[in-house]
Amino acid sequence: MIPYGRHSIDADDIAAVVDVLQGDRLTDGPAVARFEAALGAVTGAPHVVACASGTAALHLAVLGLGLGPGDAVVVPSLTFVATANAATYVGATVRFADVDPDTGLMTPETLEQALARPGPGRPRAVFPVHLNGQVCDMAGLTAVAERHGLSVVEDACHALGGAAVLDGASVPVGAATASAAVCFSFHPVKTVAMGEGGAVTTRDGALADRLRRLRTHGISRDPGVFQEHALAFGADGAPTPWYYEMAEPGFNYRASDLHCALGASQLTKLETFLARRRSLAATLGQALAPLAPHVRPIPRGPTDADGWHLFVVLIDFEGLGRSRADVMAALAAAGIGTQVHYIPVHRQPYYRARDPDLHLPGAEAYYARCLSLPLFPAMADGDVDRVAAALREALQ
């Protein structure tokens, strides 16, 4: 079976994890700092906070911005549920934005439409999602956000290695030059795998400090912020070595040294991974060209500034007289794994109950046609021909 996505683990990745296992610290050790420094070098962000998952990263960002009841957060409906849930966790209202029907990306126009639509809560933040690895129009989105006084948090869980165009320059995703924070996932199907893991990048040092506290139960061991001086300091004025304080509740969202050692090793191969994904995507696109117009890859930007997490095609199932379920079953029988990314979140029962009449035609048109085909660095060139041939057969 060729899965739709798979991690690529080499001997050096295994050696990095074994080195931690043979060391003194399995968590809260030096591998975490090394991973954060490596991700900072890749993204250009001055502050990186590693955490347990992409979902934890999104939740930490919401907490760090102080969002809560009475606030509204704009989220595109075409995303994984975690983007919306992060706002829900803190009692904020999710306001769903529509997306471009061919790319699945939120646009400045659909953001404006979401903000103009009546709803509970005062809009305070927007979470653009770089779906499939393709980067949103950050210049346009931030211009809208600034007009409405919104904080911007990028959900870049698909987009490590991609780049945005800002003021005519290519800026790495994660640099956080157009946002308060950027959230990443290092799940095994992502370009860089940690097993489970995530990170938040930011240019705001105070926000980074708060995120570090929040990922560890809200606890700080910094004497400079201690409030209970009688407990914190001895008679000589020196801080007592065991002391810590919790100024606000946090979570156990730490990433272990095991995960971070693997992540740091994987980051050294990021450009190699991306180059292979781009090559495979170009070859697969050519192999599928004879199936047009009924099958076409989602349109991509004119440059290589794409994280290439997923290879998604838009299929006219209705015009072909085939159901998506039947096509996926036929592909599975041929040894080809596929997936659907994603069911529009506004159609999920929890959110549908809160806005039963919401209709987002772009998201629903994208969802009706999308199918994720295999794309990962370990694919052989022959696998591309096998995928294309199996899809042709499944659609006949």
Distance (Å, whole) CA 184 – CA 121? 27
Distance (Å, whole) CA 373 – CA 351? 28
Bridge-based pairing of strands 151-155 and 122-126 is: parallel
Distance (Å, whole) CA 322 – CA 295? 12
Burial class (CB in 10 A: 0-12, 13-18, 19+), 177: middle
Q: Is the dihedral of CA 65, 71, 74, 75 positive or negative?
A: positive
For 239, phi then psi, to 5°, come to -65, 140
Distance (Å, whole) CA 57 – CA 49? 9
Plot region of 290 (φ>0 → left; ψ -120 to 50 → alpha; else → beta): alpha
For 228, phi then psi, to 5°, come to -90, 80
Total H helices, total E strands in the chain: 15, 14
CA nearest neighbour of 226 among 211, 237, 215: 237
Residues facing residue 87 across a β-bridge: none
CA distances from 266 to 2, 11, 35, 39, 192 (A): 22, 11, 10, 11, 6
Instruction: Judge whether 190 counts as a catalytic residue.
Output: yes
Distance (Å, whole) CA 327 – CA 335? 12
CA nearest neighbour of 308 among 337, 263, 268, 272: 272
Residue 135 DSSP label: P
Catalytic residue among 130, 158, 190, 277: 190
Catalytic residues: 190
